[in-house]
Amino acid sequence: MLRSNRAQGALILQPLALVAFLTAAACGAPPSVDAAKVFTPAHQSTGEAAREFFGMRAVAVQPIPFPHKTHIAKKAECVDCHESVEKGPIAGIPSVKTCMICHSQIATDKPLIKQVTGYADKGIEIPWQRVYGFTREAHVRFNHAPHIRASVACATCHGDVANQTVAERVVDHNMGFCVNCHKQKNASNDCLTCHF
Ligand code: HEC
Ligand code: HEC
Ligand code: HEC
Ligand code: HEC
Ligand code: HEC
């Protein structure tokens, strides 16, 4: 949701440049799955350029430095906050209401927790910046649930978030990354599995 808001905001500023740019990339010779390694560098420049265009940075600047590490050390699990990751396409970012389940009582005197409470009291969500994600224009579909069912670890695709504070983009979700694993695991590599 945050992502599409941002994408729309950016698109209003300069739609034609990006459409032309991505169309040019997509009209090139379609890469074969076996050529994924050769194909990857070309992608990286397009993908990186698109992400930069949409303001997604490797190190997103978050409104509050949410410490993943502290919460995992206290035995919180990924699914406690990213509640829909096992159920469908989207992992989900927790509402400030989820934070308040604990922080209405825990560490209430700390300045950062006062900031969290401030959002909750005003009834507004914390405006987290997206770290991972495809632009709509990339025409990629992704679905978490089948990967979790197939026991692919979060860390395979997101790195060691359990030891990060705010999440950082440490894995490049380029096409080669996806198709190489699909090939190894005999998952579908039809273009339409991942593209629309
Ligand atoms: C397992 C998933 C997967 C499959 C299968 C797949 N792709 Fe992709 N493809 C991706 C991802 C992920 C990206 C990167 C999107 C981004 O970050 O911009 C991508 C990017 C692309 C791009 C954009 C070019 C660029 O430089 O970014 C084209 C064109 C493309 N794929 C064509 C194809 C074709 C043709 C097939 C079938 C032979 C195919 N893809 C199969 C996942 C897949
Ligand atoms: C399951 C309970 C639980 C939930 C849910 C939870 N936290 Fe925490 N949080 C903790 C505990 C426990 C600590 C460690 C407190 C301490 O060290 O005194 C902590 C620490 C923090 C700290 C560090 C405070 C400091 O200055 O040391 C921040 C910031 C924080 N949480 C933000 C959040 C946000 C934002 C959310 C919602 C996205 C959230 N927490 C959800 C239990 C929780
Ligand atoms: C096979 C790779 C893969 C695995 C495994 C994976 N993710 Fe993701 N994750 C992605 C991709 C790709 C995106 C971006 C999807 C998009 O924008 O459509 C993403 C996005 C996210 C987001 C951003 C919000 C959202 O819902 O899109 C969160 C949070 C997240 N993942 C958490 C997790 C957690 C927690 C786990 C483990 C339980 C996990 N992921 C496992 C690939 C993966
Ligand atoms: C207490 C709640 C909480 C727990 C537990 C938690 N997360 Fe998060 N996660 C968040 C919040 C809040 C954000 C948004 C701030 C940020 O990006 O760091 C986030 C962001 C992320 C993102 C970046 C999403 C995007 O694309 O913007 C990923 C990936 C992620 N978490 C993975 C994990 C994994 C893997 C685990 C388990 C090891 C985990 N999280 C456990 C609250 C949590
Ligand atoms: C580490 C291995 C691994 C990586 C990396 C991976 N996948 Fe997959 N993916 C799988 C497996 C295994 C399945 C098959 C699950 C099954 O058969 O139910 C799958 C299935 C899928 C499906 C089909 C879901 C469905 O509804 O049946 C899509 C779509 C998909 N992956 C997209 C992606 C994209 C896009 C990426 C890259 C961002 C990616 N995958 C990266 C292992 C991986």
Q: What percent of the chain has pLDDT over 70?
A: 70
Highest mean pLDDT, choosing among 6-15, 22-31, 71-80:
71-80
**How far apart are the CA of 73 and the centre of ligand 4, in A?**
14
How large is the average pLDDT for residues 109-120? Answer: 98
**How far apart are the CA of 102 and the centre of ligand 5, in A?**
34
**How far apart are the CA of 91 and the centre of ligand 1, in A?**
21
Atom nearest to 96 CA in ligand 2: 37
Residue written as token pair 């990060």: 164
Say yes or no to pLDDT of 28 above 70.
Answer: no
Q: What pLDDT does residue 55 have?
A: 52
Say yes or no to pLDDT of 168 above 80.
Answer: yes
Burial state string for 157-171 with b = 16 or more CB within 10 A and e = fewer than 16:
bbeebbebebbbbee
- Measured CA to CA, the distance from residue 151 to residue 136 in angstroms comes to 27
Q: What pLDDT does residue 107 have?
A: 98
Question: Taking the C-alpha atoms of 112, 116, 117 and 120 in order, what is their torsion angle to the nearest 10 degrees?
Answer: 170
What does the pLDDT look like over 33-71, one tens digit per residue? 443 333 333 444 455 555 555 555 556 899 999 999 999
Q: Which residue has the higher pLDDT, 142 or 6?
A: 142
How large is the average pLDDT for residues 164-191? Answer: 96
Q: Which residue's alpha carbon is at the smallest distance from atom 18 of ligand 5? A: 146
Q: Which residue has the higher pLDDT, 36 or 180?
A: 180
Mutate to test the pocket of ligand 2, among 99, 114, 121, 128 (most ligand atoms within 8 A of CB): 99
- The first and second tokens of residue 72, run together, are 């995992």
- Count of CB atoms within 10 A of residue 189's CB? 16
- The first and second tokens of residue 178, run together, are 């996806």
**How far apart are the CA of 104 and the centre of ligand 3, in A?**
28
How large is the average pLDDT for residues 99-128? Answer: 98
How large is the average pLDDT for residues 3-26? Answer: 30
Q: What pLDDT does residue 60 have?
A: 80
Atom nearest to 165 CA in ligand 4: 18
How large is the average pLDDT for residues 131-157? Answer: 96
Mutate to test the pocket of ligand 5, among 44, 177, 178 (most ligand atoms within 8 A of CB): 178
Q: What pLDDT does residue 31 have?
A: 40
Q: What pLDDT does residue 46 have?
A: 58
Q: What pLDDT does residue 102 have?
A: 97
How large is the average pLDDT for residues 15-30? Answer: 32
Q: Which residues line ligand 4 (CB under 6 A)?
A: 62, 66, 68, 71-72, 76, 78, 80-82, 93-94, 128, 130-133, 154, 158, 161-162, 166-167
Q: Which residue's alpha carbon is at the smallest distance from atom 1 of ligand 5? A: 181
Q: Which ligand is nearest to the CA of 49?
A: 1
- Measured CA to CA, the distance from residue 162 to residue 166 in angstroms comes to 10
Mean pLDDT of the chain: 79
Least confident of 1-15, 37-51, 127-141: 1-15
